[in-house]
Amino acid sequence: MCLGIPGQIVAITDETRLLALAEVSGVRREVNVACIAEGPLEGLIGEWALIHVGFAMSRIDADEAAKTLDALRELGEAQEALEAMAEGQKALDAPGRPA
């Protein structure tokens, strides 16, 4: 499954190579903006985009970015809970555990 993470374009790093700096949940990473570039690249600063493997794939609005980030956080919390349940089950199934 491919997953795009919302990131906000904060700077243009190389206009010739269509590279920009995107902030994704507090982490800054250089991304290629060729897929979303329309006109001067400076117009992308402050815009939100779905980022996947170093590419800004599509523009999204701030509301959609916030909703997606919230959903991803919830999925992360759900995954942590499932992993904790699995660890608990392993402990219950461990050999030598008194019945």
Q: Say whether pTM exceeds 0.85.
A: no
> Does residue 14 form part of some domain?
yes
Tens digits of pLDDT across the chain (99 residues): 567 889 999 999 999 999 999 998 888 999 999 999 999 999 999 999 999 989 999 999 999 999 988 888 888 866 676 677 677 777 777 776 555
Name the domain count of the chain: 1
- pLDDT the model gives residue 85: 66
Q: What is the pLDDT of residue 98?
A: 59
* Tokens 């269509």 sit on residue: 18
pLDDT at position 83 is 73
Within a domain: residue 42?
yes
In a domain, 99, yes or no: no
How far, in Å, CA of 7 to CA of 50, rounded? 6
Residue 24: phi and psi, rounded to 5, are: -120, 105
Assess contact for 47 and 60: CB atoms under 8 A: no
The pLDDT value recorded for residue 59 is 96
- Residues of the domain holding 56: 5-93
Predicted pLDDT of residue 82:
63
Cβ neighbours of 47 (radius 10 Å) = 20
* CATH code of 66's domain: 2.30.30.140
Does any domain span residue 98?
A: no
DSSP letter for 48, please: E
